[in-house]
Structure 1
Amino acid sequence: MEDNFEHIVYSKNVIEFVTVANEFCLLLENSAKTDKLEFVETAQKLLPLLYLKASMLPKNELELEEEVEKFVTEADWEYIHSSVKTRMGAHDEFLEVFEDEMEYSDTPLISSISENFADIYQDLKDFITSYKIGTLEVMNDSLWDLNNNFYQLWGQKLVNTLRPIHKLIADKESLKDDDNISSSIHENIDLSGSIFSQRQREWGEENE
């Protein structure tokens, strides 16, 4: 593969996607320090942009025989899930209609913003991490994984979650924090050896 900046992973559409994806990941990572109204309003703006940029990613072919490394751990996923769930409070759950199980269900299906966001985060953060530290071959195959997962997994979760986010903004529901949320919800989550303890500080410095 060509070892230069003309490679597909450095194309305009990929770089723009990385920028938006990184902003979305930072929003979720800092959700415990953001009030509910600001969190929802920011998500309302980022979700459509994230979908648009993902739909414009170039298609490519796999180059490596082995799968690319994944960086987001179960602890990382739980950290994001718990943070967003606590931030959303009573507004976290919503009725789902775009699920395969709905066809065979006699009862309404319940989904959650926090679970969908954590799943989306996992794919985005894995890609961003590979993009920042990987070789061209790793970056290329991570892009392939991201494209595939967008159409098979997280793209649908994104548009599903935009519905309740839009409703909260449109109806002007009570988005003020229900209580003063303490950061103590994270104290019982073991992040040793996780992507956060390894890289969050250096990435935070890059985005200051």
Structure 2
Amino acid sequence: MSNVRPVVGVLALQGDVREHAAMLERAGARAVPVRRPEELSELDGIVLPGGESTTMSRLLATFDLLEPLRERIAGGLPAFGSCAGMILLAKQALDGRPDQHQLDGLDIVVRRNAFGRQVDSFEGDLDFTGVDGGPLHAIFIRAPWVEKTGEGVEVLARIPDTGDAGAAAARIVAVRQGTVLATAFHPELTGDERVHRLFVRVVRDT
């Protein structure tokens, strides 16, 4: 494996940009902000941060990033989205605005704000396929969940099916399809860089 740090962009239009950049650096990548289409050509991978998906969708179009980013992901650029980033990467988003743009990076259907409003944010531990060291502590903030997955989509994590989970029991909250990963939660906020290390490995192996 090369010791050269891969260059991973963080979409820097809105959301948890600094938090993702810090975690990527700890995970062995060189993190750079991305705001212009021409910056995409310099990347080995890209992260779409948590934030507000409709705002990020509009800004992608405003900054002429929507089609170039969609094309690069379709061409094999590794991508990782958390929360709003998962929504943007999905093929379809339910309960969104009709004019919201999708990047079509994952063959999944997601439901926006599936767990409820801001006051319904919560934390919990998840078993996560592909990382060592035991369960991940996950922070959910107005989070989506995955309603449906297509062929080739690997489920990495679900909400535990416990008595108090209610409608959220066993819901899919992390997926991978090829070189594209997404989580409904915010690993950039926990101080645990294992998900980012997994993504950096994907970038290195691509």
Shared fold by TM > 0.5?
no
TM-score, L = length of structure 2: 0.25
CA radius of gyration, larger in:
1
Tell which has more relative contact order, 1 or 2 (C-alpha 8 A, sep 6+): 1
TM-score, L = length of structure 1: 0.25
Higher strand share: 2
